[in-house]
Amino acid sequence: MTLEIITADSLSPFRHGFFTRRGGASSGVFSGLNCGPGSSDQSEMVAINRARVAAAMEVDSSSLLTVHQVHSPDVVTVTGPLSDPRPKADALVTATEGLALAILTADCQPVLFADHENGVIGAAHAGWRGARDGVLEATIDAMVDLGADRDEIQAVIGPSISQRAYEVGPEFLEDFLLDDPANARFFAGGADDRVHFDLPAYGLHRLREAGVEAEWTRHCTYSDPDRFYSFRRTTHAKEADYGRLISAIRM
């Protein structure tokens, strides 16, 4: 099956894509393009899937770079292939030609960044914790340190869990309101004391407040099991594990 790749005009002409699960070698609950080495999928299948993504990005597998994601605000500036163990971080930036920066997700926001004028790119994994702790702003700052112009940076949020599928408890809401009472705009009422959090809207807000142009592809990972993996959907279905989607951009 052919790979399915979601793209955004604002990131072109940089080669990039938010890859769906279609076109991969994995089977069972991982059926499709599972690119997560941290999953319990067969390592050979994950390697095949990542090689297919590298080929689509027109780089060697060693130049498709990912980090050990830990829901942090930490960013790695890369100038060449990364060796194992991969650094613990949740974003990468580079100005080095021939490198593809990649992020793994399964409901969290994959965010790709590009400054076409100055030749700097970035990729960030932004769940609620990373976004709240500043990973998006840190990625932008790291790009500026490499020569990017904040006014020239374009950011695109890829497939993520949507508000209608993201139910959270009152403590979650309270923490965000302590940060800023205006964060109430990102929550809508649910059953009993539950509320629904709009993660992509929160991400867009943080990006735009940081001074960059930003958009969301408007794909919900939870609601489309044929195309996307979802941690929350897997949890609700009581499945043993879940695949990881990959999103990448290449200099």
Q: pLDDT tens-digit profile of 154-200?
A: 999 999 999 999 999 999 999 999 999 999 999 998 788 999 999 99
Percent of the chain with pLDDT over 70: 100
pLDDT in tens, 94-140: 999 999 999 999 999 999 999 999 999 999 999 999 999 999 999 99
Q: Return phi, psi of residue 122, to 5°.
A: -155, 160
* Bridge pairing between strands 120-126 and 109-115: antiparallel
For helices 135-145 and 199-209, the axis angle rounded to 10 degrees is 40
List, in order, residues 6 or more apart from 181 with CB less than 8 Å away.
Answer: none
Contact 101, 121 (CB under 8 A): yes
The full set of domains in the chain, from first to last, is 5-162+198-250 (3.60.140.10)
* Bridge pairing between strands 75-77 and 91-94: parallel
Q: What is the mean pLDDT of the chain?
A: 97
- Determine if residue 211 is left, alpha or beta; phi over 0 gives left, psi from -120 to 50 gives alpha, anything else beta: left
Task: Give the DSSP H/E element, type plus range, for residue 105.
Answer: strand 100-105
Q: Which strands, in side-by-side order, build the sheet including 100-105?
A: 5-6, 15-19, 245-250, 100-105, 64-65
